[in-house]
Structures are given as structure tokens and as C-alpha cells.
Amino acid sequence: MSHAIEIKSLSKTYQPNGKSPPKQALKSVDLTIPRGMIYGLLGPNGAGKSTLINILAGLVLKTDGHVKIWGTDLDENPRQCRANIGIVPQELNFDPFFSPQKLLDIQAGLYGVPRAERRSAELLKLVGLEDKGHNFTRALSGGMRRRLMIAKAMVHNPPILVLDEPTAGVDIELRRQLWDNVRELNRQGMTVLLTTHYLEEAEELCERIAIINGGEIVADEEKETLLARVDRKELTVTLSNEISEIPKTLDRFTPRKDGQRTLTLTYAPKETKAGEIISLIQAQNWEIQDISSNQSALEDVFLQLTKSTAHAVI
Ligand SMILES: Nc1ncnc2c1ncn2[C@@H]1O[C@H](COP(=O)(O)OP(=O)(O)OP(=O)(O)O)[C@@H](O)[C@H]1O
Ligand SMILES: [Mg+2]
């Protein structure tokens, strides 16, 4: 069975425009997205994420390379490719005077979905907008608009959904709701590709993550493998008792006392499991009240891999 998306040696150079010189936004990118996965494309501003997505959407013409979407070659059959994929662009764009229901009906019409097969109400329900179907779209909040865009990308029932920065400018609660929506769609069989520069989002949702920087893929791994690249982590433990003396058994974790009852320890996840440290502490008959690991592991990997870029957004 073919993959959901296959990208080979994909390059894009934007032509010079006025005073701006040509810009190579993608440099021979290879990427394979298996069916059924939630796949994250992570990278700082200007890395080339939207360029890649927009090529898949048929909105930007590639300079070189090959793209297959659900087994169909983009050059050979762009129309079928469009039918195979639903894209939620980074920029929100729709007519504010239509109601969400109307907007979805029109979009379905554009894709040639017969009236009897339109699922506007069902899609609105899926993104939690069932009670907004007949409001003016302009009266929706930013987060609701984004959810409406997801519904809009799905009117033709594509097997792949691509989300370009789905939660930019969305508050934490709505972001979690959107994540739930995406997970639910995936559970129902949808392959999802999303771009983000929220590391937490990629870590939370994606099974596999590619990191793009300066138009090049610098990592493409299962999330766990990527996270395992982290060579140093901190564990902070708060005890019920005051710490009189730090036991020698913890020396190799360069213990640091923060206040009377809190201890921060540094360890290499490849060599030590956090559980070992906890056992050593408990062997002192100390009672652990709270534990935190203050660093996002993915944040470390991301910064390591993209450090040449000054504008990494984290
Ligand atoms: N239409 C265009 N004409 C010329 N250059 C462009 C065009 N669109 C994007 N670029 C350039 O291509 C590079 C990649 O841009 P792209 O929008 O793909 O990045 P991105 O990873 O989506 O960034 P962001 O996180 O800010 O959305 C940038 O240097 C950008 O300035
Ligand atoms: Mg972008």
C-alpha cells in the first residue's frame, strides 16, 4: 500500500520580486508520511513549513522534485491530488457574511460534492460548532473560526488533513479542544500532517516528528527516538522533611538544594531512569511530596538542531 504523502527531492525557489532576491525556501526535501499517522512538521519562522504545505495544496508551484498524495502523482493528476487532501491554511480566509452552514455548503459545491452527500451539519458538530451553524461567521471567535476552517477542509471527505499552525493565537483551553478534535479525527482513520512551532503541540499530538530548518529536514524520527536524543535532564524533588545532609549515593547527579526541602538532580536519560533516582531518595526513608521535570525534552532537541537560526520560536 502506498503512503499518505511521499515527497522526494522537493525544492522551491521563489523568484526575485522587486528588490528581493530569489529565495530558496526548500532544498531537496524528502519526507514520507505513512497512512493513519499524526505527523508533525516542526520548525522556526521562515523554515519552509508553509511552502511545503502550500505545494501539497496546489497553491505554490514546486521548482523541482516529486510529490505523491495518497498514491497519486501531483504532476500527473493535480485534480485527484486536491481531492485526496484537505488543507487548513495558516491564514484564515472566508467571507464573514456567510453563516458557517452556508460556507460549508458552498465549499462542498466547489468540490463537486452532490447535495445529498453534503455533511455540513455533521462537520459542524464534529468541530463543536453545531449551535453556530446559522450565525454570521464574523460573529465567531478566533478559535471558532479556526475550527470552522477545519470543517471547511473536510467537506470532500479527504483521507488526509493538513493543518498549518492550527493553534496559532488560540488560547490554552481551545488549543486543548482542537487537539481533542484532531485526535478524534485520527482515531476515525484520518491521516494528519500538522505544522507548528509550539513544541508542546508536537510533543502532545504527534507520533512522528520532522524538524525543518532553513528549507532542510534536519531530523525525521519517531517522537520517542527524537526525545531520547536529549542527553541531560533535570529532576526536581520536593520532600515532606527538611534535608539535613545530601546522601553520597546522589553525588553523581550533581544535587542542588533549593530551599530546605527541595532537591534538583541532573541525569543523563540514556544511562539513568528517573525511577532509579527516586528509589535512591526513598532509600533514605525520605517521603517525596512532589516531583517535576522542568524542561521540555523536545525543546532541548529542537534548539540543538536549529540553533543556527536566531529566530527559533519556542
Ligand atoms: N511568496 C513568497 N515569495 C518570496 N519568498 C517567500 C514567499 N513565501 C515565503 N517566502 C520565503 O520562503 C521562506 C519560507 O517561508 P515559509 O512561509 O514557508 O516559512 P514557515 O516555516 O511557514 O514560517 P512561519 O513559521 O513563520 O509560518 C521564508 O524565507 C519566506 O520569506
Ligand atoms: Mg508558515
Final residue of a structural domain among 178, 209, 227: 227
| Same domain as 190, residue 103 | yes
| Same domain as 129, residue 37 | yes
CA distance 56 to 161: 11
| Same domain as 281, residue 171 | no
- The ligand 1 atom nearest the CA atom of 52: 18
Q: What are residue 290's DSSP bridge partners?
A: 238
Backbone angles phi, psi at 20, to 5 degrees: -80, 135
Residue 219 located in a structural domain: yes
Whether the pLDDT of residue 41 is over 90: the answer is yes
Look-up of cell digits 468541530 = 127
CATH number, domain with residue 91: 3.40.50.300
| Same domain as 175, residue 115 | yes
Q: Is 23 in the pocket of ligand 1 (CB under 6 A)?
A: yes
| Same domain as 247, residue 119 | no
CATH number, domain with residue 238: 3.30.70
What residues make up the domain containing 112?
5-227
CA distance 158 to 204: 24
| Same domain as 53, residue 15 | yes
Q: Is 269 in the pocket of ligand 1 (CB under 6 A)?
A: no
Residue 308 located in a structural domain: no
Final residue of a structural domain among 227, 246, 277: 227
Query: Taking ligand 2, which is a single-atom ion, which protein residues have CB atoms under 5 Å away?
Result: 49-50, 90
- β-pairing, 191-196 vs 38-42, is parallel
Q: Which of 11, 15, 50 to mutate to test the pocket of ligand 1 (most atoms within 8 A of CB)?
A: 50
- Residue by residue, DSSP assigns 136-155 as -GGGS-HHHHHHHHHHHHTT
Return the percentage of the chain with pLDDT > 90, whole number: 59
53 CA from centroid of ligand 2 (Å): 9
| Same domain as 240, residue 204 | no
| Same domain as 289, residue 170 | no
| Same domain as 239, residue 187 | no
Whose CA is closest to atom 29 on ligand 1?
46
Residue 313 located in a structural domain: no
Residue 67 located in a structural domain: yes
Span 232-240, average pLDDT: 89
Span 26-55, average pLDDT: 95
Q: What are residue 233's DSSP bridge partners?
A: 267
How many domains is the chain partitioned into structurally? 2
62 CA from centroid of ligand 2 (Å): 16
| Same domain as 247, residue 117 | no
pTM: 0.81
Q: For the chain, state the CA radius of gyration.
A: 23
Q: Which ligand minimizes its atom distance to the CA of 163? A: 2
Q: Looking at residue 9, what is its pLDDT? A: 98
Whether the pLDDT of residue 298 is over 90: the answer is no
| Same domain as 135, residue 114 | yes
- β-pairing, 38-42 vs 208-213, is parallel
Residue 80 located in a structural domain: yes
Span 82-88, average pLDDT: 94
| Same domain as 16, residue 161 | yes
Spatial contact of 166 and 146, defined as CB atoms under 8 Å apart: yes
Stronger pLDDT, 207 or 173, i.e. the higher one: 207
169 CA from centroid of ligand 2 (Å): 13
Residue 314 located in a structural domain: no
- 3-state helix vs strand vs coil in the chain, percent to 5: 35, 25, 40
CA distance 92 to 78: 23
